[in-house]
């Protein structure tokens, strides 16, 4: 198979590289130097035309974040998408790249000067630090919008919703893949120009291609979990989300990717429960393995001794609940440590016909954590 990039792909990548180099040069120049040099038109602006975006849409990976930014710029400039993203906003008179020194991805401003700053995520994580920075840097007169399209629509929530509702209840909103797909069905060109007409075609094509992102997370019950790791690892996110919605004990669980020296894993960790002063216990799915873990937040505690003590308290509880937990091959001594685990074949993980069994396993394991919090603590 020919793996060479198409001319459009080369054109796009070269332009992005040029723009990034131009941006680095611009930031390095002093104000006085800027005044002496002629302004260079951003190649991103040259590229952000509907037809070039349409060509790119048909030739590049649907999981490229740059690609989605590129398409959205064309739609924000030439269609009524801004009005649907933010009802009452009207047409955008200006669309910007990486405003506020790159704190946000895009911006749109209307005729009255009102600005909405946008952050678009596909698969990359929305870290707590980035979220805090964006909330804190938001100008008082602006609004903030998140567009979550890929795995990030699972990993950013519910933390994102909780943070925005607490600190920006009337000035921030979130669109995900489903809502953007629905909105695109209604956008219209903002004028009779050729670019606006082409943008309407782009909106139709983009809407047709967006479901490819969700296909990566659907159909998990149609493939055995053993096939997820190498062929369909996106199924972990879809399955975790399904469990989060259907198993009461998993409500409020956080989904993430955890990098490790050996390659990392997809994780789903349930809310934490205090079991001793400075120590919290919780359940975490590491791909298909259900782990009983603790986090030690008191630096004065001996972590290894704390781990052993709480594990000794956990064992009679799991025995009484008939949970056949296993001891890890290696007991850690970091801030977070695994006390015990249940392998996938003991829980029914990822199998349609055993989903009720998996739900029971999670529920019983969550009960063990609750009992651990209430169990008598050894006296010293």
| Predicted pLDDT at 158 | 86
Mean pLDDT value of segment 200-208: 91
Q: Is the model's pLDDT at 65 over the cut of 70?
A: yes
Q: Is the model's pLDDT at 42 over the cut of 80?
A: no
For tokens 């967006």, the residue is 210
Give percent of the chain with pLDDT exceeding 70: 83
Q: Is the model's pLDDT at 347 over the cut of 50?
A: yes
Q: Global pTM?
A: 0.81
What is the tens place of the pLDDT at every residue in 169-191?
A: 889 999 999 999 999 999 999 99
* Pair 126, 257: CB distance under 8 Å: no
Q: Is the model's pLDDT at 44 over the cut of 80?
A: no
What is the tens place of the pLDDT at every residue in 115-168?
A: 999 999 999 999 999 999 999 999 999 999 999 999 999 999 888 999 999 888
Model confidence at 55, pLDDT cuts 50, 70, 90, reads low
Sign of CA dihedral 214, 250, 148, 344: negative
Gap between the Cα atoms of 266 and 236, Å rounded? 7
Gap between the Cα atoms of 36 and 18, Å rounded? 21
Q: Is the model's pLDDT at 366 over the cut of 70?
A: yes
Mean pLDDT value of segment 52-69: 72
| Predicted pLDDT at 4 | 43
Model confidence at 17, pLDDT cuts 50, 70, 90, reads very low
Model confidence at 380, pLDDT cuts 50, 70, 90, reads low
Q: Is the model's pLDDT at 35 over the cut of 50?
A: no
Strands (DSSP E) along the chain, which ranges? Answer: 94-97, 106-109, 115-121, 143-148, 172-176, 254-258, 265-269, 273-276, 279-286, 289-296, 336-342
Q: Is the model's pLDDT at 24 over the cut of 60?
A: no
Sign of CA dihedral 247, 271, 370, 358: positive
| Predicted pLDDT at 66 | 87
SS percent in the chain: helix, strand, coil, step 5: 50, 15, 35
Model confidence at 90, pLDDT cuts 50, 70, 90, reads very high
Question: How many CB atoms are closer than 10 A to CB 127?
Answer: 10
* Pair 149, 176: CB distance under 8 Å: yes
Give which of 35, 37, 31, 48 is closest to 97, Cα–Cα: 48
Q: Is the model's pLDDT at 242 over the cut of 60?
A: yes
What φ, ψ does residue 110 adopt, rounded to 5°?
Answer: -100, -175
Helices and strands: H and E segment counts in the chain: 16, 11
Mean pLDDT value of segment 345-353: 95
Show contacts of 314-318: CB within 8 Å, 24+ apart. 314/281, 314/339, 314/340, 314/368, 314/372, 315/340, 317/368, 317/371, 317/372, 317/375, 318/292, 318/368
| Predicted pLDDT at 28 | 54
| Selected residue with higher pLDDT from 279 and 28 | 279
| Predicted pLDDT at 371 | 96
Least confident of 14-18, 96-100, 162-166: 14-18
> What distance, in Å, lies between the first and last C-alpha atoms of the chain?
68
Mean pLDDT value of segment 91-99: 96
Model confidence at 59, pLDDT cuts 50, 70, 90, reads low
């Amino acid at each position: 198979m020919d793996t060479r990039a198409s001319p459009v792909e080369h054109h796009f990548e070269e332009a992005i590289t040029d723009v990034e180099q131009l941006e680095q040069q611009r930031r390095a120049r002093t104000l006085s130097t800027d005044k002496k040099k002629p302004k260079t038109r951003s190649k991103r602006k040259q590229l952000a035309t509907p037809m070039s975006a349409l060509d790119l849409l048909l030739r590049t990976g649907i999981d490229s974040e740059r690609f989605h930014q590129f398409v959205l710029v064309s739609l924000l400039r030439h269609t009524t998408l801004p009005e649907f993203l933010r009802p009452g906003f009207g047409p955008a008179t200006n669309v910007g790249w990486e405003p506020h020194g790159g704190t946000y991805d895009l911006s749109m401003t209307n005729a009255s000067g009102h600005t909405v700053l946008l952050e678009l995520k596909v698969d990359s994580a929305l870290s707590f630090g980035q979220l805090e920075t964006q909330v804190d840097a938001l100008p008082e007169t602006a609004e903030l919008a998140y567009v979550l399209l890929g795995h990030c629509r699972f990993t950013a929530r519910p933390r994102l919703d909780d943070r925005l509702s607490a600190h920006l209840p009337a000035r921030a909103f979130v669109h995900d893949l489903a809502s953007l797909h629905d909105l695109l069905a209604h956008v219209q060109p903002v004028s009779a120009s050729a670019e606006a007409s082409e943008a309407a075609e782009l909106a139709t094509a983009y809407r047709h291609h967006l479901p490819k992102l969700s296909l990566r997370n659907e159909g998990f019950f149609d493939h055995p979990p053993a096939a997820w790791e190498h062929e369909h690892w996106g199924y972990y996110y879809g399955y975790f989300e399904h469990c989060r919605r259907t198993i009461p004990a998993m409500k409020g669980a956080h989904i993430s990717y955890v990098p490790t020296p050996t390659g990392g894993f997809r994780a789903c960790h349930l809310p934490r429960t205090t079991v001793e002063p400075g120590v919290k216990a919780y359940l975490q799915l590491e791909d298909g393995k259900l782990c009983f873990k603790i986090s030690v937040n008191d630096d004065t505690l001996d972590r290894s001794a704390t781990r052993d003590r709480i594990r000794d308290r956990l064992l009679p509880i799991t025995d009484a609940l008939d949970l056949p937990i296993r001891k890890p091959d290696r007991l850690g001594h970091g801030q977070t440590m695994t006390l015990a685990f249940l392998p996938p074949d003991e829980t029914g993980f990822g199998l349609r016909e055993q989903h009720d069994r998996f739900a029971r396993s999670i529920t019983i394991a969550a009960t063990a954590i609750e009992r651990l919090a209430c169990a008598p603590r050894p006296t010293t």
